[in-house]
């Protein structure tokens, strides 16, 4: 598939795809007879995985390390596993922090809702913020 089709199917821009190739996140694409990039559809799975790593906060340097290990083949699987386990631990810690923050927000919202019910009009009286 050509870069435009990959961009459309992956949600990345053609510029981002070329950038990811240049820095090593994506392997260089094969070229067709007219020297245009020609991607195999399997690259979509890799791009989706990279998107998940990015969405979960993996730093680009770690994504690059993982991509380099992946390029080196199956002998690097134990190292890749360790890298992903460390990242998973950070994601879990971030989730726990988000859950704690969500609980504080829920409690604050519940307090405001209770105050509105006490006043009976859905609008709490003007007073200093809590």
pLDDT digits (tens, 9 = 90+) for 31-61: 888 888 899 999 999 999 999 999 999 999 9
Domain 3-119 has CATH 1.10.1660.10: yes
pLDDT at position 47: 97
Contact, 64 vs 25, CB < 8 A?
yes
- pLDDT at residue 123 in the model: 60
User: Which segments of the chain does DSSP mark as H helices, in order?
Assistant: 3-10, 14-23, 43-55, 60-71, 77-119
* pLDDT tens for each residue of 60-118: 999 999 999 999 999 999 999 999 999 999 999 999 999 999 999 999 999 999 999 98
Domain layout of the chain by residue ranges: 3-119
> What are the structure tokens assigned to 62, written together?
């770690």
Task: Give the pLDDT of residue 120.
Answer: 79
The encoded tokens of residue 57 equal 């906060």
CA 128 to chain centroid: 39
Tell which residue, 17, 88, 78, has the closest CA to residue 58: 88
């Amino acid at each position: 598939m050509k870069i435009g089709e990959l961009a459309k199917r992956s949600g990345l821009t053609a510029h981002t795809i070329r950038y990811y190739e240049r820095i090593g996140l994506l392997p260089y694409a094969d070229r067709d007879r007219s020297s245009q990039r020609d991607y195999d559809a399997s690259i979509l799975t890799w791009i989706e995985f990279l998107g998940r790593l990015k969405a979960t906060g993996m730093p680009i340097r770690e994504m690059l390390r993982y991509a380099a290990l992946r390029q080196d083949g199956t002998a690097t699987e134990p190292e890749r596993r360790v890298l992903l386990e460390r990242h998973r631990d950070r994601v879990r810690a971030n989730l726990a922090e988000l859950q704690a923050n969500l609980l504080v927000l829920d409690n604050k919202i519940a307090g405001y809702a209770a105050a509105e019910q006490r006043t009976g009009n859905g609008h709490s009286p003007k007073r200093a913020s809590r």
